[in-house]
Amino acid sequence: MIYYKTAEEIELIRQSSQLVGKTLGVVASMLKPGITGEEIDKVAEEFIRDNGGIPGFKGLYDFPSTLCISKNSCVVHGIPEKKEFADGDIVSVDCGVFMNGFYGDCAYTFPIGDVSEDVMNLLRITEDSLYLGIEQARVGKRLGDISSAIQTYAEKQNKYGIVRKLVGHGVGRELHEDPEVPNFGKRGRGVKLKEGLVIAIEPMVNMGTKDVKQSQDGWGILTADGKASAHYEHTVAVGKGQADILSTHEYVVEAIKNNVNIKEVSSKYQIFANQI
């Protein structure tokens, strides 16, 4: 069952989502070769709690950490490790916050140091596909319009693999609500989008095959061919005109400008993203 939110509830989700964005900004300021996922996870948990929130992932489904930290060929759900990040790594950081009775959810993939241009292109295309999906999150459209926009750009036009086994989702009093939001599909199909629908749109795009496998720890999802994967996510409210992006990458972008260890992804849709 889809639970449509009131304007007041959407504002509460915005508060949770903004705290997620600020937390990702803190992460962006820390990332560099030699730091570990465990170190970042600890700081993120402290920051969330100090700002009135509760880590949304920690303990959910028995997940052990505040952040999902997924490196290189790990698509999503990676557990923070003691192993240090290295020059050339890409690191997806997915964060959730529970505050005032509602969840917020957001993710960003960070290129650390000297990342190859072909992998940087994967990141740009994945980020672009996120905003192309968001552009379709309007009253009167259908869920398949979001899915198709992402798939058409990332897979059909740019020849990357769109993961089928993992999808976006509704967001509200539960982190994962109906409806599921696939990153593949056909225009004009699926649930009709109505005002009050809040969803997490999160393209997961692989350099090679769309196929994935489970890691030995039972949490991380890996590309089947070992090639790189990128992941970007926003929590958005469907609008009569443009979608309302409740989460933010603004703090990430500002932190990256001051962090010489992180490359800027510089999406060509960034102007659109700032206006939406």
pLDDT of residue 108: 98
Judged by phi (left if over 0) then psi (alpha if -120 to 50, else beta), residue 100 lies in left
pLDDT of residue 240: 87
In tens, the pLDDT along 61-106 reads 999 999 999 999 999 999 999 999 999 999 999 999 999 999 999 9
pLDDT band per the 50, 70, 90 thresholds, residue 19? very high
Q: Is the pLDDT of residue 8 over 90?
A: yes
Tell me which of 127 and 266 has the higher pLDDT: 127
Q: Is the pLDDT of residue 275 over 70?
A: no
In tens, the pLDDT along 118-161 reads 999 999 999 999 999 999 999 999 999 999 999 999 999 999 99
DSSP the chain: ---PPPHHHHHHHHHHHHHHHHHHHHHHHH--TT-BHHHHHHHHHHHHHHTT-EESSTTGGG---SEEEEETTEEE-PPP-SSBP-TT-EEEEEEEEEETTEEEEEEEEEEBSS--HHHHHHHHHHHHHHHHHHHT-BTT-BHHHHHHHHHIIIIIIT-PEEPSS--EEE-SSSSSEEEEE-SS--TT-SPBP-TT-EEEE--EEESS-S-EEE-TTSS-EEETT---EEE-BEEEE-BSSS-EE-S-SHHHHHHHHT-TTB-----TTHHHHHH-
pLDDT of residue 239: 85
**235, 247 contact by CB (below 8 A):** yes
Q: Is the pLDDT of residue 269 over 90?
A: no
Tokens of 51: 């700002």
% of the chain residues with pLDDT over 90: 95
pLDDT of residue 271: 46
pLDDT of residue 270: 57
Section 19-40 average pLDDT: 98
In tens, the pLDDT along 199-250 reads 999 999 999 999 999 999 999 999 999 999 999 999 999 988 899 999 999 9
In tens, the pLDDT along 96-123 reads 999 999 999 999 999 999 999 999 999 9
How many angstroms separate the Cα of 242 from the Cα of each of 132, 140, 208, 233, 273?
12, 12, 32, 17, 11
pTM of the predicted structure, to 2 decimals: 0.96
The domain ranges of the chain are 7-275
Judged by phi (left if over 0) then psi (alpha if -120 to 50, else beta), residue 2 lies in beta
In tens, the pLDDT along 178-197 reads 999 999 999 999 999 999 99
pLDDT of residue 267: 66
pLDDT of residue 273: 54
Instruction: Tell me which CATH homologous superfamily contains domain 7-275.
Output: Creatinase/methionine aminopeptidase superfamily (3.90.230.10)
State the average pLDDT for the chain. 96
